């Protein structure tokens, strides 16, 4: 009986230590983890869903946008994006097929409306962002 208790204790200690240590080196990252350089993950324009590419093109053209809230100021309250002055970030809807409302997908851009400095895509209503690269 003492051997079983000692085995259980050792196994529990090992599992607890492994949980505290985090993922093993080389293990795939979860959606909220950031690259080693501390920046946000990236997505190329061609990797965006079709609706995302269409929204990105509308941003570059200056509209017109299908939703009234498109182009409104994004507050960045959760500080997921780089810090900037109020009004720098603007959000745009990426249509979600089958959704009865605006859905969860957005592109958030910073800088001048027709020529933004940078844009980010989120598929989960601002929980995770990926920087859009050309």
For residue range 82-102, what is the model confidence (pLDDT) as tens digits?
999 999 999 999 999 999 999
pTM of the model: 0.71
What domains lie within the chain, and their CATH numbers?
39-133 (3.10.450.30)
Residue 41 to residues 60, 80, 122, Cα–Cα distance (Å)? 22, 12, 11
Token duo for residue 108: 């958030």
Residue 1 to residues 12, 52, 59, 115, Cα–Cα distance (Å)? 17, 62, 69, 72
Residue 67 to residues 32, 93, 95, 102, Cα–Cα distance (Å)? 28, 7, 10, 8
List residues with catalytic annotation: 91, 125
Per-residue confidence of the chain (134 residues) as pLDDT tens digits? Answer: 666 555 555 545 544 444 444 444 333 334 444 454 456 799 999 999 999 999 999 999 999 999 999 999 999 998 999 999 999 999 999 999 999 999 999 999 999 988 999 999 999 999 999 999 98
Question: What is the pLDDT, as a whole number, of residue 38?
Answer: 56
């Amino acid at each position: 009986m003492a051997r079983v208790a000692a085995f259980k204790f050792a196994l529990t200690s090992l599992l607890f230590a492994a949980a505290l240590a985090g993922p093993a080196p080389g293990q795939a990252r979860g959606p909220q983890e950031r690259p080693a350089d501390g920046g946000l993950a990236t997505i190329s324009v061609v990797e965006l869903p079709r609706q995302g590419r269409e929204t990105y093109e509308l941003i570059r053209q200056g509209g017109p946008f299908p939703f009234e809230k498109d182009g409104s100021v994004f507050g960045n309250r959760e500080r997921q994006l780089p810090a900037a002055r109020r009004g720098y970030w603007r959000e745009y809807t990426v249509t979600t097929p089958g959704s009865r409302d605006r859905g969860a997908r957005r592109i958030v851009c910073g800088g001048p409306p027709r020529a933004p400095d940078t844009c980010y895509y989120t598929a989960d209503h601002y929980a995770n962002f990926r920087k859009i690269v050309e």
